[in-house]
Structure 1
Amino acid sequence: MQADKILYDLAKPFVLSGMYKNEKVALTDIALNYVIRKIEKYDETMQSLTKKHGCNFDQFTNDIKDKASFEQEDDWMDWKSAVEMKQSWNNLYKMIIKNAG
């Protein structure tokens, strides 16, 4: 497979440099670090919106129901997206950990 060779070639310098014991460990670590950065990004968005509005997402959703301003709707959509994407990245993290073993 072409993808296997590409991944192997990308990971090989990490192994040759002595940073990792093999290509699988190198690629797993790189993938996990990327996923962690994504989770942190969405977590920062959620924390920022929590601070801005002084409540969690569920409370904010209840507070603005049927009376949201345009800014509140925009914040709600950003917040909802961050919650969902963080969950998706968390699920991917768990899958990578499971498959790494």
Structure 2
Amino acid sequence: MTDQVASVVEPFVRRGLFASPEKAVVEMAREYIMHQLEHYRSVIESLQAKYGMTYEQFLAYLNSRSKTLITTPDPALSQAVMKEEEDALDWKIATEMLHSWLGLQNEVGQ
């Protein structure tokens, strides 16, 4: 453990919050992972509630709306689809990050 890391966790150990610097680092890493998992799950759940469907269903829905725009141009629909595409990107990122953090959780040994 580097001196810098040790100096960060030392006050926690000194106050008896953790048995050792190593245990402090492990527990803090686990807590951070849990925080990230909760964050990305919350983003996903919020988008599922907003649209009333899963990400996969939303992509099919969005694809259908985009095809409608090709055959029937509509400025209002175009603007709505653009906002939905932003949500689709946020949803994709949240899903990918959730899987990444779940993988890290398995590596760390939650």
- Give the TM-score of the pair, scaled to structure 1: 0.85
Match of 1:71 among 83, 95, 110: 83
Secondary structure in structure 2 of the residue aligned to 1:49: helix
Unpaired stretches in structure 2, ≥5 consecutive residues:
67-80
1:81 maps to 93
- SS state at 1:32 partner: helix
1:1-101 residue pairs with structure 2 within 5 A?
A: 4-68=2-66, 69-97=81-109
Output the CA distance in 1 between the equivalents of 2:31 and 2:40.
15
Partner of 2:69: none
RMSD, aligned CA = 1.6
Highest CA radius of gyration, 1 or 2? 2
Write out the 4+ residue segments of structure 1 that deviate beyond 3 Å after TM superposition. none
SS in 2 for 1:21: coil
In the TM superposition, what whole-angstrom CA distance separates every residue of 1:46-69 from its partner, at most 9, and x where no partner exists? 001000100111111122115241
Hey, what's the Cα distance between the residues in 1 that align with 2:91 and 2:31? 23
State the percentage of identical aligned residues: 27
Q: Which moved more, 1:89-98 or 1:34-43?
A: 89-98
Q: Which runs of 5+ in 1 are unaligned?
A: none
For 1:93 and 1:17, the matched residues in 2 are separated by 27
Q: How many residues align?
A: 96
